[in-house]
Structure 1
Amino acid sequence: MTKEQLGTLILASEKQMYATAKSILKQDADCADAIQEAIVKAFGKVDGLKQEKYARTWLMRILMNECYNILRKGSRQVSLEACPEAAAMEAPERKDYGPLYEALRRLKEELRIVTTLYYVEEFSIREISAILEISEGAVQKRLARARAKLRNTLNYMEVEW
């Protein structure tokens, strides 16, 4: 794969990359950092990609690794919520998410990622299996568990569709 082809892939995958990063990270700034670092690493390692048909999966795997790196680094930092004075100065966070997005956000990370990749990003079960490096059966099981939890959460929230 050439760098031009990688650039085209990145532009075509822009929304998918954001949704994937957002499913792991909560802050938009962290998502942007993860995407930027993933793009830099992808361009640096583009010669290592053996089969072009796996380019999108390869790119998403790099992005997910960057998201986890940010989470690890963030665990060593003190949040603003730990400091009451700083939290009081912060602007209130907007809570205009839909019930489905809120229910999705409440899922455990392993279920949220699989659900986002499958329903939002429209990756196949085989592609998700390759991205997460788990079996296809594990992907299917996580999707089934996520659907059940979403159903229960939405019923509990008394959402009418």
Structure 2
Amino acid sequence: MKKEQLGELILAASDTMYHIAKSLLYEDADCADAIQEAIVKAFSKYHTLKNDAYAKTWLIRILINECYRILRRKSRTVPMEMPLQDQPSTPATDYSELYEALSALPDDMRLTVALYYLEGYSVRETAALLKVSESAIKNRLSRARAKLRRTLDERED
């Protein structure tokens, strides 16, 4: 793959990259950082891609790793702006009920739902991206649907 082709792929996958980053990270600034770092790493390592057919999967995997790196880094730091007792326990509440229910899911379920439903990856492709079995993906999707259903039903009552 040439650098020009990688650039075209990145432009074509920009929405997908944002959705995946947003499914793991709450803040837009963190999403932008993860995407930017993934792009830099992709350009610096594009020669390691063996099969051009898997370029998008390779790019998404780099992004997922960057998101997890940011989450690890953030878990080790405490913001100085607000005292510990005043920190919000949930992200901003200006999103829809479905988004709030999705953000309450564990990381592995949330990412699986985003890849499968929002980005349209198949079970097989999702399993390859997350490096788990296809049955694990099916189980995660089933548990996520059940949890979302319960959460949304509780909010209606």
TM surpasses 0.5 = yes
Structure 2 match to 1:57: 57
Structure 1 match to 2:66: 66
Alignment of 1:1-161 (within 5 A): 1-80=1-80, 83=83, 95-158=93-156
Moved more, 58-67 or 93-102: 93-102
State the superposition RMSD in angstroms: 2.0
Question: Against the structure 1 CA distance between its residues 105 and 13, is the aligned structure 2 distance closer, same or farther, given a 3 Å change threshold?
Answer: same
Q: Deviations over 1:88-110 (max 9, x none)?
A: xxxxx863311111111111111
TM-score, normalised to structure 2, is 0.91
Give the C-alpha shift of residue 80 in structure 1.
Answer: 4.7
AA aligned to 1:145 is: R
TM-score, normalised to structure 1, is 0.89
Q: Deviations over 1:22-76 (max 9, x none)?
A: 1111111111000000000001111110111111110010001011111111122
Q: Which runs of 4+ in 1 moved over 3 A?
A: none
C-alpha distance in structure 2 between counterparts of 1:35 and 1:55, whole Å: 16
Equivalent position SS for 1:68: helix
Q: Which runs of 5+ in 1 are unaligned?
A: 88-92
C-alpha distance in structure 2 between counterparts of 1:150 and 1:94, whole Å: 19
